[in-house]
Amino acid sequence: MAVALTSEPNPLQIDFCGLDMASPIVLLSGCVGFGEEYTRIDGFSNCDVGGIVLKGTTLEPRLGNPPHRVYETPMGMLNAIGLQNPGVDKVVDDILPGLDFSETRFLANVCGSTIEDYETVTKRFDDSPIDAIEINISCPNIKEGGVSFGNHPEMSAKVVAACRRATNKPLIAKLSPNQTDIQENARLCIEAGADGLAVINTMMGMAIDAETREPVIGNVRGGLSGPAIKPIALLKVHQVYEVAGPKNIPIIGQGGITTVEDAIEFIVAGSSTIGIGTTLFYDPLLCRKINAGIAEYLDRHEMGSVSELVGTLKA
């Protein structure tokens, strides 16, 4: 079921941070490059999704981590790409002009090693056609010995506040599951100026070659994504919705979504939109199936829009 940004009635249409999205599906950062990769797949259309989050972008170009960078697990994938990207100037000047902003919404993903980096990259995207900005606060803070910004609510809030000063565009904080209190993190990010929240980022994991007794991933550890983390992601969405829902702060729910039922579960838990990532590598046309499935579910339950389903968990 292809959908597009039109004035025609569309039960899949959702308002996310003031942006009209033709579908609740968002393609996740790191899984679709800079938005042009999936256009080469026969049958895929950007009109099938409400938004595309571009690859994580830093102030300066990065080569990323040494190989191996990706490892398949029984129920997902480990990755440690290391934020390989050409730098924000290249993205804004050379890549964004080649994207068709009439097809879908494009969100930048901002990364940094210092708060100043985040602010500078955000300001650069502010002066661009990008629709919204996602803040990857799971990056290590080099000024604090490599501690992740996202694992400490106060540090997360400082990053959000700095980015808020740099832009008036919708700002989404991508929350880490690798922390003690995700609700406190969500609350402080909202107070610092986040317009939306992405829940969750990958879990930390590793793989070992039993014969060589060496780590499989060159960076030793990597982010675990895919179906294995779905139950954790669902719980985190539910917990964050308890904080964000009363404040009308929308959530991109993500983590192991592979079926229509998965997508609906995340919406019921509190997600206004749902993020698709790892599954795209083996089912690139999944989005069309999920759109059709959600539309059928809404019709069967006599609901006129996705928004009527958000946060309807009977708990």
The answer to whether the CB of 233 falls within 8 A of the CB of 278 is no
Determine the pLDDT at residue 142: 58
pLDDT value, residue 273? 98
193-210 per-position pLDDT tens digit: 999 999 999 999 999 999
Each residue's pLDDT tens digit, 217-231: 999 999 999 999 999
Residue 190 sits at φ, ψ, to 5 deg, of -65, -45
Domains and CATH numbers, the chain: 14-308 (3.20.20.70)
Catalytic residue among 31, 111, 139, 163: 139
139 assigned to active site:
yes
pLDDT class of 43 with cuts at 50, 70, 90? confident
Q: What is the pLDDT of residue 41?
A: 80
Judged against a pLDDT cut of 60, whether residue 4 lies above it is answered with no
The pLDDT score that the predictor gives to residue 45 is 79
pLDDT at site 315: 81
Residue 67, pLDDT score: 95
> Over the stretch 283-314, which tens digit does the pLDDT of each residue have?
999 999 999 999 999 999 999 999 999 999 99
pLDDT for residue 253 is more than 90: yes
CA–CA separation, 278 vs 275, rounded Å?
Answer: 10
User: What's the pLDDT at 143?
Assistant: 67
The pLDDT, as a whole number, for residue 8 is: 62
For 52-64, the pLDDT digits (tens) are 999 999 999 999 9
9 — pLDDT class (breaks 50, 70, 90): confident
Q: Please state, for a pLDDT cut of 70, what percent of the chain lies above it.
A: 95
Instruction: Say what the pLDDT of residue 3 is.
Output: 54
Assess whether pLDDT exceeds 60 at residue 146: no
> Per-residue confidence at 36, pLDDT binned at 50, 70, 90?
confident
